[in-house]
Chain A
């Protein structure tokens, strides 16, 4: 690890053992938080290559969460030895997937969203990572569907939900991620953004356009109505329906999204 030239956070082996044993989410969050510097450090290694640093930090942080959840201290590795490849691999894949413009069928995107909570549940129940047939059985789909849904997850375009938005109603300027109701400011937001990015992809082009105009470009509902040729009422309905879906999907971690 010295090749990476960065002192790593102090070893917290006993905490990892404890987390592995109890699965305590608070402990997980603490472990993730104490290594966020590592994620950010690695993200910065990929800065100025055409992707916003914020997005890179987000990708790296998600990979860090995954690494904390999967790290098995009994295998004798340092956490950093385990985490660095995972994080760097995800960062590199983030760049590469930009080259891929294939659209993933909606069916697979939806299955991918259902899969994450199922994997989390099964991991908890079995106390190990589930096999593909186990995931397929839980989701009542075929194993090939699961394999394809794993791949479908890579088609996410990471939307910058940190872009400032103005509500136009005198409310303070805020980020879309905050608007959609992230509770735990750091980690919850990061996790939800990944789901949201996927969900945004799932929206119809019209819904996505309206959402973008409203929260990214800061247009008022009337301005949007003019632009897309609908009534302001209709825009309002579409917006609230869309946000409802987003909120439902961004519910507490580990719970399946309500309506997909």
Chain B
């Protein structure tokens, strides 16, 4: 699953590593996004707790792109990068950028879009160092940055 991630991803290289993942916009593939993110974070020295947080955040953002239930028509593209020229304050970071199809306009009768939006925001604010979500008429995009915390 770590295709495209070479040993140089360990942080020795001055180059920024990019890993691209293109999957159908269906829930069963969110797992691949979590795995890829965890694998890269592990290489960056994230702790177990940080990786658990990261996985929850990846879940939140990816489900924004694939929607509930059976998923959506179309594909989700994800780019994972590990910039090595991080500023000294921030520490090693993992940047994930995603894009996917917008969902149908009519929400599921059982869902509470307002409330879940609020909760999603709460979750992401707590778990990601930075995130943005934007929409066009037919796509949803996100960008998230998570940093390894300094260890005491």
Contact = CB atoms under 8 A, between A and B. Distances in A.
Interface of A: 3, 45, 48-49, 66, 70, 81-82, 84-86, 88-90, 92-93, 96, 99-102, 119, 123, 128-133, 135, 143-144, 146-148, 150-151, 154
A147 B35 contact: yes
A135 B110 contact: no
- Main SS of chain A's interface residues? helix
B42 A85 contact: no
A143 B45 CA distance: 11
Interface residues of B, number: 39
14 contacts: A45-B115, A85-B56, A85-B126, A92-B60, A100-B27, A100-B28, A123-B48, A128-B152, A146-B42, A147-B51, A148-B1, A150-B48, A150-B55, A154-B31
Interface of B: 1-2, 27-28, 30-31, 34-35, 38-39, 41-43, 45-52, 55-56, 59-60, 63, 69-70, 110, 115, 118-119, 122-123, 125-127, 151-152
Given A147-B39, A150-B38, A129 B48 contact: yes
A51 to B, nearest CB: 12
A119 B48 contact: yes
A88 B122 contact: yes
Contacts of B110: 48-49
A132 B42 contact: yes
A250 B6 CA distance: 40
Contacts, number: 96
Contact of B2 (A81, A131, A144): A144
Given A96-B30, A102-B28, A150-B55, A89 B123 contact: yes
B34 A96 contact: no
B111 to A, nearest CB: 9
A102 B31 contact: yes
Contact of A143 (B27, B42, B55): B42
> Across chains A and B, which 8 residue pairs bring their CB atoms closest together, nearest first?
A132-B42, A129-B47, A129-B49, A85-B126, A89-B56, A99-B27, A85-B123, A147-B38
Contact of B47 (A3, A99, A131, A151): A131
Contact of B38 (A81, A88, A151): A151
Contacts of A96: 27, 30, 59, 63
A94 B51 CA distance: 18
A112 B152 CA distance: 27
A100 B31 contact: yes
